[in-house]
Amino acid sequence: MFYFLFKRNSKDKALRVILLYILYCIVNEGMSLYLQSFGSPNTVYLFLLFTIVEYSFFCYFIYLILPRDLIKKSIFYIWVGFLLFAFIDYVFFSKPREWDSIVSGVECIIVFFLCIYYLYSQIKGTDSLLIYSTFNFWIVIAFLIYFSGTFFLYLMADRMMSNPAFQKLYFIINISFNILKNILLCVAMTMKLNHTVKQQKSVIPDLGDDLLFTNKIN
């Protein structure tokens, strides 16, 4: 809803990646609720697919917004490496219809690292004062908070999911961080795109240079 209110005319690739991610989340949640309504055990496979697709969306998004450096060039190999790891874990190590806790934990760690690196690269840049008013910043913060909050929850899921008390705790924590992530995504939709901020910054005169020139004349 916020996308169509504030960003429907934008052609920014990073923005469209997030839109597709949101739409996929909606479809996945609908299918999950449908399968859970009649106690289908195939919900676990849906969760595994969601982990892979969610990670793929994030990798493409972070690739689009990172500056050109070694980490940006490595995103594709990091993505392929994670897919191979998930395949090997599913085929050789995971039990049938078991939660992919290890794969989800590795996903959280990689996403956390990439979010921190993006924020570091932005703070180190010359336009760091404007980072808080950009769309990319709030998207990264949304993913950072969400994966930080659910990291240990996912790690314990395969061992504790049969415990009714843990199921209740899992639902509360997961839905809470999902709501927080969605709120931050809504905030992001109201922010300016990075290239817009850079264009505005380029037309702002450097007052320091003007004052220095004035002092020399005096």
pLDDT in tens, 79-132: 999 999 988 888 877 766 667 778 888 999 999 999 999 998 888 865 555 777
Is the model's pLDDT at 157 over the cut of 60?
yes
Tokens of 134: 């950009």
Is the model's pLDDT at 75 over the cut of 70?
yes
**pLDDT for position 202:** 46
Alpha carbon distances (Å) from 183 to 23, 128, 177, 190? 15, 23, 10, 11
* Nearby residues of 116 by Cβ (< 8 Å), 6 or more positions away: 144
Q: Could you read off the pLDDT of 128-148 as tens digits, one per residue?
A: 557 778 889 999 999 999 999
Rounded average pLDDT over 191-199: 63
Is the model's pLDDT at 46 over the cut of 60?
yes
Q: What is the mean pLDDT of the chain?
A: 81
Domain boundaries defined on the chain: 12-217
Closest alpha carbon to 69 in 118, 29, 12, 32:
118
**pLDDT for position 216:** 47
**pLDDT for position 98:** 66
- Say what the pTM is: 0.80
Are the CB atoms for 190 and 2 separated by under 8 Å? yes
Are the CB atoms for 138 and 197 separated by under 8 Å? no
Tokens of 102: 């290890």
| Range scoring the smallest mean pLDDT among 20-29, 142-151, 198-207 | 198-207
Is the model's pLDDT at 44 over the cut of 70?
yes
Tokens of 194: 């990075």
Is the model's pLDDT at 179 over the cut of 50?
yes
**pLDDT for position 129:** 59
Tokens of 60: 């493409």
- Alpha carbon distance 208, 69 (integer Å): 30
Tell me the β-bridge partners of 192.
Answer: 134
